[in-house]
Amino acid sequence: GQNIDQPTEMTATEGAIVQINCTYQTSGFNGLFWYQQHAGEAPTFLSYNVLDGLEEKGRFSSFLSRSKGYSYLLLKELQMKDSASYLCAVKLDDKIIFGKGTRLHILP
């Protein structure tokens, strides 16, 4: 079976840094996506990792270790608008499997 684990909820303070972890056990791997989803809206693409290492894009960075089946999304200089769910998703051939998402609450 396919299994993707991420924390259900996290809380952080405006201006701080937060790391959202994701571990996966899947039959195959063609890359890992992170999506952001605000309540009632569609998921929007944040990052894609297929090779080990860190990908930095502005305030957001994503890390992948394929040997450990592990990824994290790092959000810096948190803003209130970053309050959302963050979805970790693994690409298998032509199918994408999503985790249940991490709901991030930002406190002023």
* Binding interface with another protein (CB under 8 A): 4, 30-31, 33, 35, 41-45, 48, 50, 87, 89, 91, 93-101, 103
Q: What angle do CA 93, 94, 97 make, to 5 degrees?
A: 85
To another protein, the closest distance from the beta carbon of 51 in angstroms equals 11
Considering beta carbons, is residue 90 or 106 the nearer one to another protein?
Answer: 90
Give min distance, CB of 53 to another protein, in A. 15
Indicate the residue among 52 and 77 with the shorter CB distance to another protein: 52
Shortest spacing between CB 47 and another protein, in angstroms: 9
Rounded distance between C-alpha atoms, residue 46 and residue 48, angstroms: 7
Q: Which is nearer to another protein, 34 or 63 (CB)?
A: 34
DSSP assignment of 8-32:
SEEEEETT--EEEEEEEE-S--S-E
Alpha-carbon distance of 5 to 97, in angstroms, equals: 11
Which is closer to another protein, CB of 4 or CB of 75? 4
DSSP assignment of 63-78, as one string?
EEETTTTEEEEEE-S-
